[in-house]
Amino acid sequence: MKKKKIGRKFSRTRDQRHALKKSLATSLIFKERIETTLAKAKELRPFIERLISQAKKQNVASLRYLLHYLPEKAAKKLNKEVAPRFKDRPGGYTRIIKINNRNTDAAPLAMIEFVLRQEKKSPLKSSKQKNEKAK
């Protein structure tokens, strides 16, 4: 009986696929929004959501689990900064937004980001707000 295969191969070997997921997840954790192909974003989503669910437990075992899949800096950032934001959320930590196709090979692109993303404050906005408050 033919069984359904889960996951995409991306024309890579198993180790290359794992390294690809690991690097995409690390980039997403540090940047909180990345642009990639639609297929890679769809493949990354369940992987990163499983890691966030594990990190929400905030114990030593969950940190060791994260260290198995991610580099040390990424695992610690996920455990200390990203996961506590989703403490009250039962799931759905990421969103995928489709964007235009790539010009060179017409591959469908997508942006994957955390739902509760911390906006980085620009120095221009903060100086304008200070000037307005002074008046």
Order the strands of the 33-37 sheet from edge to edge: 33-37, 108-114, 94-101
| C-alpha 126, offset from chain centre | 28
Q: What is the pLDDT of residue 68?
A: 97
Quick check: 6 pLDDT over 60? yes
- pLDDT band for position 126 (50/70/90)? low
Q: What is the pLDDT of residue 1?
A: 85
Average pLDDT over residues 16-23: 98
Q: What is the pLDDT of residue 2?
A: 84
Quick check: 115 pLDDT over 90? yes
The domain made up of 14-134 has a fold known as: 50s Ribosomal Protein L17; Chain: A, (3.90.1030)
Q: Considering the entire predicted model, what is its pTM?
A: 0.84
Per-residue pLDDT tens digits for 63-98: 999 999 999 999 999 999 999 999 999 999 999 999
Report the SS3 class of residue 8: coil
Q: What is the pLDDT of residue 100?
A: 95
Three-state SS string over 48-102 comes to: HHHHHHHHCCCCHHHHHHHHHHCCHHHHHHHHHHHHHHHCCCCCCCEEEEEEEEC
